[in-house]
Amino acid sequence: MWTYERRLQFPVNIKEPNAQLAQVIISQFGGPDGELAASMRYLSQRFATPYKEVAGLLTDIGTEELAHLEMIGAIVHQLTRNLSMEEIGRSGFDKYYVDHTLGIWPQAAGGIPSNANQFQSKGDIITDLYEDMAAEQKARSTYDNILRLVHEPDVCAPIKFLRAREIVHFQRFGEALRMTTDRLDDKNFYAFNPGFDMCEDCGN
Amino acid sequence: MMACKEQMLNDIGTVSFCMVELMLYLDTHPNDRNAMEYFNHYAHIKDQLSREFSREFFPLTAKDSDCNKEWRWGMAPLPWEGVCG
């Protein structure tokens, strides 16, 4: 269940449209390390998670990622509204425009559509948490790359906020991994799936 | 004196952010009583501010819409349009 709040997690108020930046930033909407993949990754993984504290964390971070998806959508929307046909042609945005007009569609900067193969839900909490920590770092690197391309303060501010959140989520997933391994023992530290393989001594 | 709309929305954003930070922290530190006190403190402020904001401007959630003659929830501004929109 979810409840919607009619506000962004961090304000997005962009004055000037810029189709070139929009084409780069859309990667965090539907790209391989974007917010849609992040949200679907955590919200899918939580069902097979054997520990309820970890499932709770996946739910809460997955929910925050939905708020980030909305922020990226708002950034791309504000960067592409009121564009002239000349700007659409000149900026190279014409290739996106021909299929989607000014609609927001989940794709990577290179035009590759969002795909569930961008994330994994392995049904093994150790495997999944390592993927989650890697995902947060990959998203942080992408935001760093975006910040090297973007200098407009009204675009940088929300991107910097999102970058900082990746670091916090990485820390929390690290703690969740620690909580998971604390439940294991010397016979199963990183050996097998604690939520699936049953054995008397495996610490379940 | 009533704060302006942007200022108040900004305050709600700040308080809500504190709540998200504390929630994630408490998910992995469920016995930290100080953090729980902070969470309750900010949750209380957020409730008050959201009710006040809804009364003065527009509802942030459907349950705050307090509908009577018109469906205020549907008329509320769309957050992705920003203040420059």
- Percent above pLDDT 70 for chain A: 97
Is B78 domain-assigned? Answer: no
- A14/chain B closest Cα distance in angstroms: 7
Is B70 domain-assigned? Answer: no
Which residue, A56, A194, A64, A70, is CA-closest to A136? Answer: A64
Is B53 domain-assigned? Answer: yes
Q: Which residues of chain A have pLDDT under 50?
A: 204
Is A32 domain-assigned? Answer: yes
How many domains does chain B contain in total? 1
**Would you call B67 an interface residue with chain A, using a CB distance cutoff of 8 Å?**
no
How many domains does chain A contain in total? 1
- Percent above pLDDT 70 for chain B: 93
Is A178 domain-assigned? Answer: yes
Is A204 domain-assigned? Answer: no
**Rounded Cα–Cα distance for residues A20 and A92 (Å):** 7
**Rounded Cα–Cα distance for residues A57 and A196 (Å):** 20
Is A65 domain-assigned? Answer: yes
Is B84 domain-assigned? Answer: no
**Which of A11-25, A76-90, B19-33, B53-67 has the weakest average pLDDT?**
B53-67
Is B50 domain-assigned? Answer: yes
Is A11 domain-assigned? Answer: no
CA angle B64, B65, B67 (to 5 degrees): 135
- Nearest CB to A12: which of B23, B60, B82? B82
Is residue B43 over pLDDT 80?
Answer: yes
User: What pLDDT does residue A204 have?
Assistant: 47
Residue in chain A nearest B18 by alpha carbon: A9
Is A126 domain-assigned? Answer: no
Q: CATH number of the domain that A83 lies in? A: 1.20.1260.10
Check the CA dihedral A39-A43-A46-A48 and report its sign. Answer: negative
CB A4 to CB B61 under 8 A? Answer: yes
Is A1 domain-assigned? Answer: no
CB A13 to CB B21 under 8 A? Answer: no
User: What pLDDT does residue B83 have?
Assistant: 78
Domain range for A172: 19-117+136-182
Is A192 domain-assigned? Answer: no
Residue in chain A nearest B83 by alpha carbon: A13
**Rounded Cα–Cα distance for residues B1 and A6 (Å):** 24
Q: Is there a contact between A33 and A106 (Cβ–Cβ < 8 Å)?
A: no
Is B32 domain-assigned? Answer: yes
Name the residue type at position B85: G
Per DSSP, the residues of A26-84 read: THHHHSTTSHHHHHHHHHHHGGG-S-HHHHHHHHHHHHHHHHHHHHHHHHHHHHHTT--
Is B52 domain-assigned? Answer: yes
**Which of A143-152, B26-35, B55-64 has the weakest average pLDDT?**
B55-64
Domain range for B48: 20-58
